[in-house]
Amino acid sequence: MRRKNLRRTSTVLLATAIAAVLAACSNTGAQPSADNTKPDSGATLTMWARNTSNNLAQQIVDQYNATHDNDINLTIVPNDAYQQKVAAAAASGNLPDLIASDVVNSPNYVKQGLFLDVTDRVKKLPFYASLSQAHMNAASANGKIYGTPFILDSSLILYNKTLFKQAGLDPDKGPANFEEIYQDAKAVREKVGGDVYGFYFGGNCHGCNAYTMFGYLAAAGDQPFKEDGKAANFDTPAMKATLDLYKRLWDDGLVAPGAEAEDGVTWNTLFTEGKIGIRPRGTGLFAGLATAKFDWGVVPLPSPDGSGTSGFVGGDVAAISSSSKHVEQAWNFLEWTLSDEAQVEVIAKNGSLPSRVDLADNKYSSANPNVVTAIKGLANGYTPSTTAYAAAINNPNGPWLAMVRGYVFDNKPSAVADGQQAIQKVLDQFK
């Protein structure tokens, strides 16, 4: 096999807002023409992926390009522009060969017919049963499979062990319930002080809050969507308890002031600088903490009373677009991303989570106790599934963020009930 040097860096595109919606895309769109060439024929393929904190998509593509004759031309698209870009390309028939989408958006893309059916190919994989079920479910419909796990992450609580020790707390014991989150954050703020705060969250970030808060709900045996994603379930004791905790932390001055305006752009900065005691986040930050100048640890997201734990199992699904003319070569790439080489020597080596459970106990993951904790937590993990996720949740002007901000910052007790109704109206549009 011909070896190639790494030839490129990803191109970051700032997609222009286009008045196009996914509903304009049809399941009856053009199907790919037959491709009878060999899987690794030296073809050039296009691929889109969203930007992530650890740049893992680029690393995966670079390694594939270095070891194959095929060439993947990867374009990294900002998260907030991704759905508009996909919708516009689908409406005009200009989708790339490969699409890596946020796992929560995959059900809608499948519904719109943007992904090619790969059921037979996936089921022939010897490790098919070991693939991340959350991702497989998100990329499936009516008994058919339309994508494969690409990047896997999970939300949890990160805490600064060095600050815990300075505050007189046990550095080997992270918070296990809501009261401990509050008390530990209070201790860090009061006993360390200065520009160090006990807690931080993305108060103006729709996706950040869903990624973390939905884990608390799952830990309490709750979930934000029911009836196959068609019914909102936000006006619950677990949701109110979660918002009460955040409001209490905010009102008592235990949260860094920038949290109210934090839209996700600098979501990681203060914690990586060692200025935050407790930080709900996810495994995507692990790589960025590899050179941290402080000790840190992780614990699962707890239910309010600590009787259960969970986390939002997120990441990305990769799929062959329904208009690709390079199906065999595109599948060659997807199959390779699930191989031992890619899962261990690229993904696990990076500090990220393998998407195959049979490779969870690899030499890199096993050596990192924080990764071990994250992997164990996947057993209780939760991934919401609804075709309306983008409109209801991942929308900076949508009802979910309005509910969070109204309750935490604007002192509106009715925000939860109002949010429940508003989110349900959005869901009704997608039935």
Domain residues of the chain, as ranges?
Answer: 11-153+314-379, 154-312+383-428
- Say what the pLDDT of residue 290 is: 87
Give the global pTM: 0.86
pLDDT band, residue 79 (cuts 50/70/90): confident
- CB-CB contact of 165 with 311 (8 Å): no
What is the mean pLDDT of the segment spanning 84-112? Answer: 95
For the chain, give the mean pLDDT: 90
pLDDT, one tens digit per residue, over 274-333 is 999 999 999 989 988 989 999 999 999 999 999 999 999 999 999 999 999 999 999 999
State residue 30 phi and psi, 5-degree precision: -60, 135
Rounded-to-integer distance, Cα 251 and Cα 156, Å:
23
Q: Is the pLDDT of residue 138 over 50?
A: yes
pLDDT at 431 (0 to 100): 80
CB 283 within 8 A of CB 220: no
pLDDT tens string 365-416: 999 999 999 999 998 999 999 999 999 999 999 999 999 999 999 999 999 9
Q: What pLDDT shows up at residue 53?
A: 60
pLDDT per residue over 190-211, tens digit each?
A: 999 999 999 999 999 999 999 9
For residue 126, count CB atoms less than 10 angstroms from its CB and return exposed for 0-12, middle for 13-18, buried for 19 or more: exposed
Least confident segment among 196-200, 214-218, 348-352, 416-420:
348-352
Distance of CA 23 to the CA centre of its chain: 24
CATH value of 11-153+314-379 in 3.40.190.10, 3.40.50.300, 2.10.109.10, 3.90.1150.10: 3.40.190.10
Same fold, 11-153+314-379 and 154-312+383-428: yes
Q: What's the angle, vertex CA 385, arms to CA 382 and CA 390, rounded to 5?
A: 115
344 burial (CB, 10 Å; 0-12 / 13-18 / 19+) is: middle
Class of the CATH-defined domain 154-312+383-428: alpha beta
Q: Identify the pLDDT of residue 15.
A: 33
Split at pLDDT 50, 70, 90, the class of 94 is: very high
Residue 35 has pLDDT above 50, yes or no: no
Pick left, alpha or beta for residue 8 (phi over 0 → left; psi -120 to 50 → alpha; otherwise beta). beta
- pLDDT exceeding 90 applies to what percent of the chain? 84
pLDDT value of residue 54: 65
Query: Which string of DSSP letters, residue by residue, matches 374-409?
Result: HHHHGGG-B----TTHHHHTS-TTSHHHHHHHHHHT
14 pLDDT exceeds 60?
Answer: no
Share of the chain above pLDDT 70, in %: 91
